[in-house]
Amino acid sequence: MRLTRQTRLFFDASVLVAGSHSLPGGSSLILEACRLGGFQACTSAGILREAEENIKESFPHSTFLRFLAILTEIAWDIGPLLPVTQIERYFNVVHPKDAHVIASAVAARAEFLLTLDKMHLLTDHLRNSDLPVIIVSPAEFIRGYYHLHEEYPSALPPRRVQP
């Protein structure tokens, strides 16, 4: 497997929230790589709404401002809300509340689904199912796949220090 600037990374709400809140974390690092054009960032309108609601409810306003910066500084491919029939296809492999994440990642033709949801998405059952997307945490992506990028190490930005 070889990764390029066209490699499609689908971001779950948990990674968007973490990347907005913690600058030195793996979520922020991958978002920065997307901002610099190292990968194609993908998500869905529903996931953006979920991330925004979570941030507004549980984090300081500075996190929301970083979230807005992430939305404007990265060239996102944002998928639409999917019809229920498309989401229902995944009820047999994932908890129904997270089926929209899998359905959206597949619809976006993403190679990777980045998530921090250990309870529902980062499960052995889901990882071993026959899905056309690799489900990993940001740390797993960095450790296990990032070095496969054709421009490695230049496409991965240096770690930033949180102000």
Query: Cβ distance 95 to 117 under 8 Å?
Result: no
Residue 131's Cβ-count burial label (10 Å; 0-12, 13-18, 19+) is: middle
Q: Report pLDDT digits (tens) over 133-157.
A: 999 999 999 999 988 888 876 655 5
- Structural domain boundaries in the chain: 8-148
Is the bond into 24 cis (omega within 30 degrees of 0)? Answer: no
Rounded Cα distance between 152 and 137, Å, is 19
Name the CATH superfamily housing domain 8-148: 5'-nuclease (3.40.50.1010)
Q: Report pLDDT digits (tens) over 77-92.
A: 999 999 999 999 999 9
